[in-house]
Structure 1
Amino acid sequence: MSAKPSLNDVSVVIPTRNEAKNLPYVLENLPDGLGEVILVDGNSVDDTVAVARELRPDIVVVHQSRRGKGNALAAGFAAATKTFIVMIDADGSMDPKEIHAFVAPLHRGVKYAKGSRFTSGGGSDDISRIRDLGNRFLNGTTNILFRTRFSDLCYGYNAFHRDCLAAFALPDPHDVSVAARWGDGFEIETLINVRVAKAKVSIAEVPSFESERIHGESNLRTFRDGTRVLATIMRERFSRTPVPVVPSAPVVVDLPDRSVAAVDRAEAV
């Protein structure tokens, strides 16, 4: 059996808002040897930050400046210092132990590792019939418009080489001159998936299993956020903004066929 890849060149970004009850599962199941763990707090009113620091004294805490998952992720990406970046939710629905599987293709030279619940080896205990139909429609629309072969457009468990940040072209996460920017919400996964495809970076899909959220309720709203995702697809398809150049981005897509403002670095003890 081949050795697992090193993780000392990996930053893990975890967006949070009132996830104190779920963080023990997420943080305690992170694999050993990670170079950096970044928690982005969205003005939690529970003990999210205190729990994170107690469980992991070396954690980097970033306080997001606007609202929304997209803004939280952008703030985390801006704070990340390692070569590879993994984005994972704080609700316990994604298995932190899968990080090795996401990093492996990056060490082989792939730029973007896309998590998929709908490729062989993946699955979900947390997707309703309505969400499944919506995902299939949005996924199919994207594949037609961008000539991609994604099997799971909207899943948020992904990893990438930091070179991909140029393709993401996300707005300044700490610009408070406006209340919100496009990409600040749940459309973030679609936005970055489409942009890496447009930039023709190398992509590999990684099978992933999604569990039910452990505690609390999701902030995702099926119809509201589905509409924003569709709008994102259309905006990106017909945008005249030049596609950013990603360094050393080979034109390879490895997808299966269908068979920082305030950054607090806690001192390590």
Structure 2
Amino acid sequence: MSPTSCLSVIMPAFNEEATIAACVERVLASPWTAEIIVVDDGSVDSTREIATALSESDPRVRLLVQPVNRGKGAALARGFAEATAEYVIVQDADLEYEPEEFGELLAPLLDGRADVVYGSRFLAGRPHRVLYFWHSVGNRLLTLLSNMFTNLNLTDMETCYKAFRREVIQSITIEEDRFGFEPEITGKLAAGNWSIYEVGISYSGRTYAEGKKIGWRDGVRALICILRYSPLGQRVRGSLPTR
């Protein structure tokens, strides 16, 4: 299928001055990109100034500003609400994920098979930077627990790369302000019986010295969100006696 500009790219950014210009440039180079919505989440470096200049130089780039740092989930919720293209994808500004792979994520949406597509870092066939063992274990454990409570068979629940039909993501209320967004949206998609596909993607993970932000507290929050938002978790909580 020939590429067409059908994609709203939501780009949350917090202190990403080192990478945001290159990220926006690569996203704009994609023939699939209709618009980029950069959500500056209270950055205290020059991220906002760089994003402002980018938005002034290309009408496809829009900048939304959070006055204080509220977290990735809050930034995404604001960006999703502003999206106008037929499909919506999340692109972190740190370039851990490759904008050149938009076409692979869009394919199941464009041919009508999927309502949502997850880009999996754990499906074979794509290059991966080798980094933290315990991060990999944690991601796989959280995915396993999420699958148990949603009855899905995902390989990478925590992936950033999620693409949606716009009406699907705009029909869901995002409650988690921070990294709890990933298990929350997965639980709500499962509850809504939306058709979900996975495709393999590349992954160039960052070290903490390079700016990686997620930590063990986010893993604990993910466990809470799996219990809170998944269909089985809601049924279990609903069956508990009340005082």
TM-score (norm 1): 0.77
**Residues 123/197 of structure 1: CA separation in 2 closer, same or farther (3 Å cut):** farther
Matched-pair contact (CA < 8 Å) for 1:5–1:103: no
Which residue identity lines up with residue 21 of structure 1 in the other structure? A
2:36 matched to which residue of 1? 37
Which residue identity lines up with residue 16 of structure 2 in the other structure? E
2:23 aligned to which of 26, 32, 44: 26
1:63 matched to which residue of 2? 65
Distance 2:188 2:130 in 1: 27
Distance 2:87 2:185 in 1: 16
Is it true that 1:163 corresponds to 2:167 in the alignment? yes
Q: Which has the higher helix share?
A: 2
Cα displacement (A) at 1:212: 2.9
2:136 matched to which residue of 1? 132
Cα displacement (A) at 1:123: 5.0
Is it true that 1:218 corresponds to 2:220 in the alignment? no
1:224-263 correspondence runs (5 A): 224-237=217-230, 238-239=233-234
Is it true that 1:84 corresponds to 2:82 in the alignment? no
Which residue identity lines up with residue 35 of structure 1 in the other structure? A
Matched-pair contact (CA < 8 Å) for 2:174–2:181: no
5+ residue gaps, structure 1? 172-182, 241-269
TM-score (norm 2): 0.85
Distance 1:165 1:40 in 2: 17
Which residue identity lines up with residue 211 of structure 2 in the other structure? E
2:201 matched to which residue of 1? 208
Q: Which has the higher contact order (CA 8 A, sep 6+)?
A: 1
Distance 1:53 1:126 in 2: 34
1:259 matched to which residue of 2? none
Distance 2:78 2:45 in 1: 21
Say what the alpha-carbon RMSD is for the aligned residues: 2.0
2:64 partner SS = strand
Is it true that 1:113 corresponds to 2:117 in the alignment? yes
Q: How many residues are aligned here?
A: 225
How high is the sequence identity, in percent, across the aligned residues?
A: 32
1:147 matched to which residue of 2? 151
Distance 1:126 1:68 in 2: 27
Which residue identity lines up with residue 60 of structure 1 in the other structure? R
5+ residue gaps, structure 2? 236-243
2:238 matched to which residue of 1? none
Is it true that 1:194 corresponds to 2:187 in the alignment? yes
Which residue identity lines up with residue 34 of structure 1 in the other structure? T
Structure 1 runs (4+) greater than 4 angstroms displaced? none
